[in-house]
Structure 1
Amino acid sequence: MAFRSPRAARVRPHAASAVPTEPDAPDPAEEAAPLRAPRHLGGEREPLLRIRGLRRSFQVSGEHLPVLVDCSMDVQRGEVVAVVGASGSGKSTLLNLLGLLDTANGGEHIFDGVDVTRLREGHRARLRNNGIGFVFQQFHLLERRTAMANVGVPMVLGGVPLMRRRAIARELLTSLGLGHRLHARPHQLSGGEQQRVALARAMCLDPSLILADEPTGALDAATSELIMDQLLEQARHRGAAVIVVTHEPNVASRADRTINIAEGRTY
């Protein structure tokens, strides 16, 4: 089912060009193979995300604790990148910085042509809500809200009218196989269903960047494959960049490329 975002009137050229108007008949060999991220050609345009020498430290009991020392990467539109590292390597701190949930102590951070290190919090919040979608391992759904209402939360913040919010949420959930669970609350959903609601919530404003923090860590193998299929669809057909933090080799192997992080450094 085709999904039309609330910003469809301003479709980005890269997203529009990624969807053919007359798709060819599927290749049986391609259908049999697991979906993988599209091979990115690179070097043709400015990256969606560019960080150089990003640093973050904290004060703990009066002591200076460096967590990120030197993190650098470029991520292009339509690219899926896996960030892999051991516990305590700085993965979550890096994801918080990329998602504009935290501010670096130093380094360069350019997102969609904007130097976010120079933005005031109000501008950061608007950019975060409209340009970045989040998928978390623990789902973070509102327990008293239905699946449709949970998907609609970012759209409320984005000023999308009620009827449009409902239409978008219904269409997204149906496309993810949850058309029969629109009015279910989180405690009535399985773990895999909750993660699909969280994925629909991340997609509802047609973000340029989707950040996924261990999105399959609490799921069985079959559901993990489904979630990865959907994340890769965002890169393939809608031109979103996807960054997945994971410790699972089978998840990382489906990304376009892998960035390792250790002792606060990327390589």
Structure 2
Amino acid sequence: MSFEAPHLLPTPVRSPASPLLRVEGLTRHFMVSGERIDVLHDCTFDVARGEVVAIIGQSGSGKSTLLNVLGLLDRPSGGSYVFDGVDTTGLREGSRSRLRGDGIGFVFQQFHLLERRTALSNVGVPMVLSGVPLLRRRARAKELLESVGLGHRLHSQPHQLSGGEQQRVALARALSRDPALILADEPTGALDAASSTMIMDQLIEQARDHDAAVVVVTHDPKVAERADRIVELVEGRTR
């Protein structure tokens, strides 16, 4: 029986000009009741550090499936996905989990905050999982909440916050480990126009100020037009 060394990752292969992520010929299919369902077909694109990319497409085009693969929550059926110099295609689950935890932050449409915890505590959750000491965790969470304009809401629970405020807490949580990649799945879908603008402002600011890549899945053309580039999915194929 063989064992994978804990948290052991391959040596990244990077160059100054290399993209943060590179997807080549990526496919994903599922077996449902013995029938093969092809969702992604030969997807190929790069995303550079500091770049904001919007992924658009009709419902059922494969956007969420692609985002799950990029977030290392799902594996492709074929092709390759290189993230920050590491070919993720053959990684075991322990290494995928470490790479995901260290390098990727997630922002979801429905926020996914812990209801009985304060904003400060919610932002600290990823740092708890990575063993950051309590005082450092609280200081970092406070700094992040202040950076998204919620310094006055540190001790508020989700039910005491507006939708826009909850999404800003979720964004602060996604940034808590300084990720190289932020994946946002319809981050403005449940928000009003003013809150949507604010969330996009802050996502773009993170990309510019911290050289993080941001990939946003959206149905909203106003959100997509603010990205540096648009990748369209049509019947599971990138354009």
TM-score normalised according to structure 2 size: 0.92
Match of 2:19 in 1: 47
1:220 counterpart (165, 179, 192): 192
Shift of 1:59: 1.1
Shift of 1:145: 1.2
Match status 1:147 vs 2:119: yes
Match of 1:84 in 2: 56
Shift of 1:159: 1.6
Match status 1:263 vs 2:239: no
- Counterpart of 2:210, as a letter, is R
Match status 1:200 vs 2:185: no
CA–CA separation in structure 2 for the residues paired with 1:138 and 1:62: 33
Match status 1:157 vs 2:142: no
- Counterpart of 2:167, as a letter, is Q
Match of 1:18 in 2: none
Match status 1:252 vs 2:231: no
Match of 1:179 in 2: 151
CA–CA separation in structure 2 for the residues paired with 1:177 and 1:147: 12
1:114-166 Cα shifts (integer Å, max 9, x gaps): 01112110111011011000000000111111111111111111221111110
Consecutive unaligned residues in structure 2, runs of 5 or more: 1-14
Consecutive unaligned residues in structure 1, runs of 5 or more: 1-42
Shift of 1:233: 0.4
CA–CA separation in structure 2 for the residues paired with 1:176 and 1:241: 18
CA–CA separation in structure 1 for the residues paired with 2:61 and 2:138: 40
CA–CA separation in structure 2 for the residues paired with 1:101 and 1:144: 26
Shift of 1:44: 6.4
Match of 1:21 in 2: none
CA–CA separation in structure 1 for the residues paired with 2:91 and 2:135: 32
CA–CA separation in structure 1 for the residues paired with 2:206 and 2:213: 8
- Counterpart of 1:239, as a letter, is D
CA–CA separation in structure 2 for the residues paired with 1:110 and 1:48: 8
CA–CA separation in structure 2 for the residues paired with 1:207 and 1:157: 15
1:84-163 matched pairs, under 5 angstroms: 84-163=56-135
CA–CA separation in structure 2 for the residues paired with 1:187 and 1:54: 40
Does the residue aligned with 1:64 lie in a helix, a strand or coil?
strand
Shift of 1:70: 1.4
Shift of 1:177: 1.2
CA–CA separation in structure 1 for the residues paired with 2:181 and 2:16: 19
- Counterpart of 2:145, as a letter, is L
CA–CA separation in structure 1 for the residues paired with 2:151 and 2:118: 13
TM-score normalised according to structure 1 size: 0.83
Identical positions, percent: 72
CA–CA separation in structure 2 for the residues paired with 1:209 and 1:107: 20
